[in-house]
């Protein structure tokens, strides 16, 4: 049994068999219409039904025009709140939008840096970005490695392209730029662009571009090259490669120029039109990014950057394709060992929790017992008081009864005296009685 | 092997929050050009398709496949002898071809299964076939598993299995039911009634109805499976197709002159049976279904459903420990 650590490719497009060798395959000549030419349409229809995903990462200093450029590129206002220059560290803000054009649905995710280049100490500036990109790869890898996975309907959050905004100083790259791009070039497709390019004059711009490109080359930064292997686009792509970095101007405001409303920036000395190729490279960027190479960007992300990440990560986790004697190692064993580890860990934590639980129960019992005793004591006390009261009352009653008895005796004695007195004077009494008659 | 220390990755400062805002587009951007980009790419990379034919010998499998792809694709035409002895066990023979039409390249592999159902004792004769199908899944899986893996993993998985039913006119044979019961869970099965020119129209409809009923009673889901219909549109379209399956087909690689046209057909004393004539047989329906409308879907169902089922089973089976999926472990990790 061989090892099984699964990963897969989710694309409809991939896995179409080795083109390289036609081992034992004969080329057939068809004697009629078969219908094989409808295959690309079938594939395309399925893809349309599923919809597409595209994720753009914008890196640049605060205020360099990231949000405005994105708004201009996609002809809409994505409503990004303006951020301050006082962020303590670099963060990333991601927002997803659903766009539709004719029958194509696109799930567009724009990730922007917040606070990039604002700190006093910038050594850690690029780390949150690298972490974010890695986290997206990691999420995809985890999904791939699951036993029950649903790659088919997975919302791909991996960054397909990184637009790196260079400040239009006119001189050269900043050291932060170099550092950041160097740490990202093996993880994502980088397209460097010059932001707010209307502050650089035409002659300066040419020199600036040359300087930038030579700096990138001499520092070994791998930026994205528009592919030149397909004849239909190779020519235009090659030309565009020569125009890098694109000098862009973004604007969402419209200005009237020759009876048309165009996206532009109005200055006292003139109007910079965003979509005029003489004014800036905005149209070129849009052309390259969306109309010509969107699919290639997605494929490069998946086939090159993601595969590299996956390979490194799996090796990090201790998996190998071949063991020490160059024999294919059973990944299954590694996997099982890891599961075993997790299982033991889980047992241990369960035991811990159980102990804690028992402890708590004991404590609670002790408290309750104490309370019970307290109540008991109170009860006893009250009972005693009650007893005392009762005794007192008893005593009072007896006293009262004694008094009553005495009184009755006195009364009897008094009555006796009275009757005796009556008997001793009977005649007078009779005479009186007769007289009355 | 090195020590396995699963080091948890730091979560980024700002996690992804997808807010689905329907942003209104105020002008043309060019998003729909991605379709063209995709189309160009697929034309460059080409397509793979692996089709298996299963049925007793003499049912016209080879002829039908030749007719489907309008060329000599079958094993029999690739240099095999028609007088060859029927093998003693089921053999699996795969032959690859490259078809190009309209700038689209397709690598077609036809997998033949001589010996199926031809022995006296046909018990478990589907087993070599099931084994072959699973072997292809295994091969794919292994390639996927590699740390350094190929850019395009060669796809030899069986996308479609045409099962030939004998036109007895009565009902399905026990062998047919057994085969389809076992294999409908691992591969897309399309049942076809072979040599349909031996039945009249009424016999055909009755037979088809009976076959469909029998399949339903036995819980056999043939392609397009009801459970994989994605939405109402799919369902209505597929319902129509399911109602007319199994297709009653006639194959032929000979051409005859009919009404001034050259057509593929079979010549009999009582007339010429035109293969592509819908009133004569349902070959054209089968061809359109398999090649012109559902080929991509056949591949997707194989990849997304049958292959994933195989993979999940394989992963689960391979733990010697109490069955825990990787997911539960991860959940536990985060809870504790």
| CA nearest to B44 within chain A | A230
CB of B78 within 8 Å of a chain A CB? The answer is yes
Least confident among A82-86, B118-122, B142-146:
A82-86
CB of B235 within 8 Å of a chain A CB? The answer is no
Indicate yes or no: CB of A336 within 8 angstroms of CB of B312: no
Which pLDDT score, from 0 to 100, does residue A89 have? Answer: 76
CB of A237 within 8 Å of a chain B CB? The answer is no
Average pLDDT over residues A364-380: 94
B174: closest CA of chain A, how far (Å) = 34
Which pLDDT score, from 0 to 100, does residue B189 have? Answer: 92
A352-363: pLDDT as tens digits: 999 999 999 999
pLDDT over 60 (residue B10): no
User: Considering only CA atoms, which of B310, B140, B318 is closest in space to residue A148?
Assistant: B310
Which residue in the set B39, B147, B322 is minimally distant from A311, CB to CB?
A: B147
CB of B45 within 8 Å of a chain A CB? The answer is yes
Q: Residue A71 CA to chain centroid, in angstroms?
A: 24
Of A58-62, A292-296, A404-408, B192-196, give the range with the top mean pLDDT.
Answer: A404-408
Mean of pLDDT over chain B: 79
B41-93: pLDDT as tens digits: 888 888 889 999 998 888 888 888 888 888 777 666 555 555 566 677 778 88
pLDDT band of residue A305 (cuts 50, 70, 90) is very high
Structure tokens at A142: 């985890």
Which pLDDT score, from 0 to 100, does residue A151 have? Answer: 82
User: With contacts defined as CB-CB under 8 Å, which chain B residues touch A15?
Assistant: 48, 152-155, 303
CB of A281 within 8 Å of a chain B CB? The answer is no
Indicate yes or no: CB of B29 within 8 angstroms of CB of A73: yes
pLDDT band of residue A430 (cuts 50, 70, 90) is low
Of chain A residues 30-89, which have a CB less than 8 A from chain B?
A: 30-44, 46-49, 52, 73-79, 89
Q: Tell me, letter by letter, the H, E, C secondary structure of chain A.
A: CCCCCCCCCCCCCCCCCCCCCCCCCEECCCCCCCCHHHHHHHHHHHHHHHCEEEEEEEECCCCCCHHHHHHHHCCCCCCCCCCCCCCCCCEEEEEEEEEEECCEEEEEEEEEEECCCCCCCCCCCCHHHHHHHHHHHHHHHHHHHCCCCCHHHCCCCCCCEEEEEECCCCCCCCHHHHHHHHHHCCCCCEEEEECCHHHCCHHHHHHHHHHHHHHHHHCCCCCCCCCCCCHHHHHHHHHHHCCCCEECCCCCCEEEECCEEEEEEEECCEEEECCCCCCCCHHHHHHHHHHHCHHHHHHHHHHHHHHHHHHHHHHHCCCCCECCCCCECCHHHHHHHHHHHHHHHHHHHHHHHHHHHHHHHHHHHHHHHHHHHHHHHHHHHHHHHHHHHHHHHHHHHHHHHHHHHHHHHHHHHHHHHHHHHHHHCCHHHHHHHHHHC
Indicate yes or no: CB of A36 within 8 angstroms of CB of B32: no
pLDDT band of residue A59 (cuts 50, 70, 90) is very high
- How many CB pairs below 8 A link A and B? 339
Which pLDDT score, from 0 to 100, does residue A103 have? Answer: 82
B335: closest CA of chain A, how far (Å) = 11
Q: Considering only residues A6 and B105, tell me which one the structure prediction assigns the higher pLDDT.
A: B105
A270: closest CA of chain B, how far (Å) = 25
User: With contacts defined as CB-CB under 8 Å, which chain B residues touch A3?
Assistant: 145
pLDDT over 80 (residue B22): no
CB of A308 within 8 Å of a chain B CB? The answer is no
A137: closest CA of chain B, how far (Å) = 11
B201-253: pLDDT as tens digits: 888 889 999 999 999 898 888 888 888 777 788 888 888 888 888 899 988 88
CB of A154 within 8 Å of a chain B CB? The answer is no
Average pLDDT over residues A81-107: 80
pLDDT over 60 (residue A67): yes
Indicate yes or no: CB of B12 within 8 angstroms of CB of A128: yes
User: With contacts defined as CB-CB under 8 Å, which chain B residues touch A28?
Assistant: 69, 71-73, 97-99, 108
Residue A257's SS3 state is strand
User: With contacts defined as CB-CB under 8 Å, which chain B residues touch A334?
Assistant: 1, 4
User: With contacts defined as CB-CB under 8 Å, which chain B residues touch A147?
Assistant: 311-312, 315-316, 325-327
Which of A35, A294, A347 best tests the B interface by mutation, with the highest count of B CBs <10 A?
A35
A316-371: pLDDT as tens digits: 877 655 544 443 445 556 566 667 878 888 999 999 999 999 999 999 999 999 99
Which pLDDT score, from 0 to 100, does residue A321 have? Answer: 57
Indicate yes or no: CB of A13 within 8 angstroms of CB of B38: yes
Which pLDDT score, from 0 to 100, does residue A188 have? Answer: 93
Q: Considering only residues B147 and A207, tell me which one the structure prediction assigns the higher pLDDT.
A: A207
Of chain B residues 53-72, which have a CB less than 8 A from chain A?
A: 68-72
Indicate yes or no: CB of B295 within 8 angstroms of CB of A7: no
| CA nearest to A111 within chain B | B16
pLDDT over 50 (residue A242): yes
pLDDT over 60 (residue A17): no
pLDDT band of residue A79 (cuts 50, 70, 90) is low
Q: Considering only residues A334 and A413, tell me which one the structure prediction assigns the higher pLDDT.
A: A413
CB of B334 within 8 Å of a chain A CB? The answer is no
Cβ atoms of residues B50 and B159 within 8 Å: yes
Of A99-113, A282-296, A392-406, give the range with the top mean pLDDT.
Answer: A392-406
B310-320: pLDDT as tens digits: 988 888 776 42
User: With contacts defined as CB-CB under 8 Å, which chain B residues touch A340?
Assistant: 321
Indicate yes or no: CB of A334 within 8 angstroms of CB of B4: yes
Q: How many CB atoms lie within 10 A of CB B311?
A: 22
Q: Considering only residues A396 and A242, tell me which one the structure prediction assigns the higher pLDDT.
A: A396
Of chain B residues 278-317, which have a CB less than 8 A from chain A?
A: 287-288, 291-297, 300, 303-304, 308, 311-312, 314-316
**pLDDT cut 70: percent of chain B above it:** 82
Average pLDDT over residues A48-54: 86
User: With contacts defined as CB-CB under 8 Å, which chain B residues touch A5?
Assistant: 145
Which pLDDT score, from 0 to 100, does residue A436 have? Answer: 52
A96: closest CA of chain B, how far (Å) = 5
Which pLDDT score, from 0 to 100, does residue A432 have? Answer: 55
CB of B104 within 8 Å of a chain A CB? The answer is yes
B8: closest CA of chain A, how far (Å) = 11
Which pLDDT score, from 0 to 100, does residue B322 have? Answer: 26
Cβ atoms of residues B295 and B49 within 8 Å: yes
């Amino acid at each position: 049994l061989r090892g099984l650590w699964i990963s897969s490719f989710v694309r409809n497009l991939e896995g179409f068999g080795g083109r390289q060798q036609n081992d034992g395959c004969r080329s057939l000549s068809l004697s009629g219409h078969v219908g094989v030419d409808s295959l690309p349409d079938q594939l395309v229809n399925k893809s349309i039904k599923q919809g597409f995903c595209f994720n753009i990462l914008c890196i640049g200093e605060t205020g360099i025009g990231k949000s405005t450029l994105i708004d201009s590129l996609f002809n809409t206002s994505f409503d990004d709140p303006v951020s301050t220059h006082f962020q303590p560290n670099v963060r990333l803000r991601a927002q997803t939008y659903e766009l539709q054009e004719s029958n194509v649905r696109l799930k567009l995710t724009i990730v922007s840096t917040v606070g990039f280049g604002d700190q006093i100490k910038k050594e850690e500036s690029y780390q949150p970005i690298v972490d974010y990109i890695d986290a997206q790869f990691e999420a995809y890898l985890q999904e791939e490695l699951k036993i029950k996975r649903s790659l088919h309907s997975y919302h791909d959050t991996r960054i397909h392209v990184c637009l790196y905004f260079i400040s239009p100083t006119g001189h050269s790259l900043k050291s932060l730029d170099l550092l950041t791009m160097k740490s990202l070039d093996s993880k994502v497709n980088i397209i460097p662009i010059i932001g707010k390019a209307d502050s650089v004059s035409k002659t300066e711009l040419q020199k600036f571009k040359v300087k930038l490109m030579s700096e990138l080359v001499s520092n070994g930064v791998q930026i994205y090259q528009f592919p030149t292997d397909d004849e239909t686009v190779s020519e235009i792509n090659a030309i565009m490669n020569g125009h890098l970095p694109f000098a862009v101007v973004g604007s969402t405001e419209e200005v009237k120029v020759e009876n048309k409303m165009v996206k532009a920036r109005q200055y006292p000395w003139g109007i910079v039109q965003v979509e005029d190729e003489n004014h800036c490279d905005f149209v070129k960027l849009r052309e390259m990014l969306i109309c010509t190479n969107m699919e290639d960007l997605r494929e490069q992300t998946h086939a090159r950057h993601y595969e590299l990440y996956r390979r490194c990560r799996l090796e990090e986790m201790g998996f190998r394709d071949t063991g020490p004697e160059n024999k294919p190692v059973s990944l299954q064993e590694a996997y099982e060992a890891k599961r075993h580890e997790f299982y033991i860990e889980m047992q241990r934590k369960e035991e811990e929790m159980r102990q804690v639980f028992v402890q708590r129960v004991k404590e609670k019992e002790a408290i309750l017992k104490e309370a019970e005793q307290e109540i008991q004591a109170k009860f006893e006390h009250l009972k005693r008081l009650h007893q005392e009261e009762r005794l007192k009352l008893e005593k009072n009653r007896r006293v009262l009864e004694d008094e009553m008895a005495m009184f009755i005796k006195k009364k009897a004695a008094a009555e006796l005296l009275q009757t005796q007195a009556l008997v001793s004077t009977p005649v007078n009494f009779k005479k009186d009685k007769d007289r009355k008659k | 092997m090195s020590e396995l220390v699963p080091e948890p990755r730091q979560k980024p400062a700002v996690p992804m929050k997808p807010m689905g805002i329907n942003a209104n587009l105020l002008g043309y951007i060019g998003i729909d050009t991605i379709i063209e980009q995709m189309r160009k790419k697929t034309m460059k990379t080409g397509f793979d398709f692996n089709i298996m034919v299963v049925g007793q010998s003499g049912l016209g499998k080879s002829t039908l496949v030749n007719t489907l792809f309008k060329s000599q694709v079958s094993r029999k035409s690739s240099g095999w002898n028609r007088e060859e002895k029927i093998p003693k066990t089921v053999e699996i023979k795969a032959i690859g071809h490259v078809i190009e039409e309209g700038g689209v390249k397709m690598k077609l592999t036809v997998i033949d299964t001589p010996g199926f159902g031809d022995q006296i004792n046909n018990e478990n004769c589907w087993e070599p076939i099931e084994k072959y199908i699973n072997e292809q899944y295994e091969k794919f899986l292994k390639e996927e598993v590699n740390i350094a893996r190929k850019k395009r993993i060669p796809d030899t998985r069986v996308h479609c299995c045409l099962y030939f039913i004998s036109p007895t006119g009565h009902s399905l044979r026990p062998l047919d039911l057994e085969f389809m019961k076992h294999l409908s869970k691992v591969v897309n099965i399309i049942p076809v009634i072979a040599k349909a020119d031996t039945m009249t129209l009424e016999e055909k409809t009755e037979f088809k109805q009976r076959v469909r009923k029998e399949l339903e009673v036995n819980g056999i889901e043939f392609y397009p499976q009801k459970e994989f219909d994605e939405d109402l549109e799919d369902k209505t379209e597929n319902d129509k197709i399911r109602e007319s399956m199994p297709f009653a087909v006639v194959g032929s690689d000979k051409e005859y002159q009919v009404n001034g046209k050259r057509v593929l057909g079979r010549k009999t004393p009582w007339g010429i049976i035109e293969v592509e004539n819908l009133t004569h047989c349902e070959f054209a329906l089968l061809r359109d279904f398999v090649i012109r409308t559902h080929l991509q879907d056949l591949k997707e169902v194989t990849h997304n459903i049958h292959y994933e089922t195989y993979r999940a089973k394989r992963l689960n089976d391979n733990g010697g420990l109490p069955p825990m999926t990787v997911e539960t472990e991860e959940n536990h990790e985060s809870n504790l």
